[in-house]
Structure 1
Amino acid sequence: MKIAVLSDTHDHIWNLRKAIQIIKEQKCEVIIFCGDFCAPFTAVILAESALPIYACFGNNDEDQFAISEKLKAVQLWPLTKEFAEVELESKKIAFCHYPKLGKLLAGTGDYDAVFHGHTHKAYQEQVGKTLLANPGSICGIISGKLAPASFGIYDTLSSSYTSVSLLD
């Protein structure tokens, strides 16, 4: 199973639509979203993928009630505030918004993979037996400057993770 891992859209709907197109082309079956939808309409656009979505809030998701309501309207999985864990294809996966929490979760050794957002910088590392990865950001901004927009794809069959650039 291929799982698309996204974070930090910050309302960049054009990059989000581009990511959804790639997600469909790559035949991903699930989306994990690591926070910072920002505006409620972003959740509706994400739902255009027609895939199951596991998501958590980020620090810029001010109107959590409205985002939750939009997600209910499009029948997505409920959002979590801190972190969530899910088992997909016999892989234990945790996800959150903040990197410190992500590192702590990975350090427990309880998961095959842990994903987080917040920093907007894509990276991956192995923490013991656990893959720890940040998909980067859909918005393509780091500290107020343009940066590569990206997301990740985790393959449960091979336990591999690939960063996907949204550059043309």
Structure 2
Amino acid sequence: MLIGIMSDTHDNLPAISKAIEVFNNAGVDLVLHAGDYIAPFVKKEFSKLNAPLKGVFGNNDGEREGLKNTIGVKDEILEIDADGLRIIVLHGTDEKIVEAFVKSQLYDVVIRGHTHKYEIRETGRSIVLNPGEVCGYVSGIKSVAFLDTRKREIKIIDLESGEPLGFMSL
């Protein structure tokens, strides 16, 4: 399964559109969003995805009812099993909670957002993945990630150049 991963879209419609184009061109089977969509009007862009979208709320998602009704966001934590990989998705506002999930070693991949900085790091048997920010507002880098569950690979790419920013084999 090829999973597209994004976070911190912050209503940047052109950047969201670019991320969706990249995911659709890659033929992803699923898209995971680690929070901070912001407002329900982003549904118009997300409806262009060729794959299902699952995600969690972020700390800036104020219109939660609207996001529930339009995009289907329901929780702050999402657990997924994909080709034998145990994955957890959270926004990551509280670093202690992120690190508790990592230290638990219950998950193969811990996906988080919030910091707007892309990252792949290994701690024990868990990989922490932050795809960075789609919006580009904080770091100036618009990025997304891919998790290939069959090849057991993670890569982060720059949305504007298409260049790789990070890579790890599981």
Same fold (TM over 0.5): yes
Which of 140, 149, 169 is the aligned partner of 1:147? 140
Q: CA deviation at 1:84?
A: 1.4
Shift of the 13–66 alpha-carbon distance from structure 1 to 2, 3 Å rule, reads same
Q: Which residue of 2 aligns with 1:158?
A: 151
Matches within 5 A, 1:51-62: 51-62=51-62
Q: Which residue of 2 aligns with 1:88?
A: 82
When normalised by structure 1's length, the TM-score is: 0.89
Per-residue CA deviation, residues 79-115 of structure 1 (Å, 9 max, x unaligned), is 21x2111111221100100162333212211111110
Q: Which residue is equivalent to 1:104?
A: 100
Q: Aligned to 2:58, what secondary structure does the other structure show?
A: coil
Code of the residue aligned with 1:97 in structure 2: it is: H
Compute the displacement of 1:4 (Å): 0.6
Contiguous gaps of at least 5 residues in structure 2: 162-170
Task: Please identify, of 58-67 and 155-164, the stretch whose mean Cα deviation from structure 2 is larger.
Answer: 155-164
Q: Could you list the structure 1 runs, at least 4 aligned residues long, displaced by more than 6 angstroms after superposition.
A: none
Equivalents in 2 of 1:86, 1:47: separation in Å? Answer: 22
Distance 1:104 1:43 in 2: 32
CA shift, 1:118, in A, is 0.4
Which of the numbers 110, 120, 126 marks the counterpart of 1:130?
126
Give the superposed CA RMSD.
Answer: 1.4
TM-score, normalized by length of structure 2? 0.88
| One-letter code aligned to 1:159 | R
Aligned to 1:103, the other structure's residue is in SS state helix
* Aligned-partner residue type, residue 156 of structure 1: T
Percent of aligned pairs sharing the same letter: 27
Displacement of 1:25 in angstroms is 1.4
How far off is 1:6 after superposition?
Answer: 0.5
Secondary structure class of the residue paired with 2:144 = strand
Per-residue deviation, 1:127: 1.1
- Preserved contact between residue 89 and residue 111 of structure 2 (Cα < 8 Å): yes
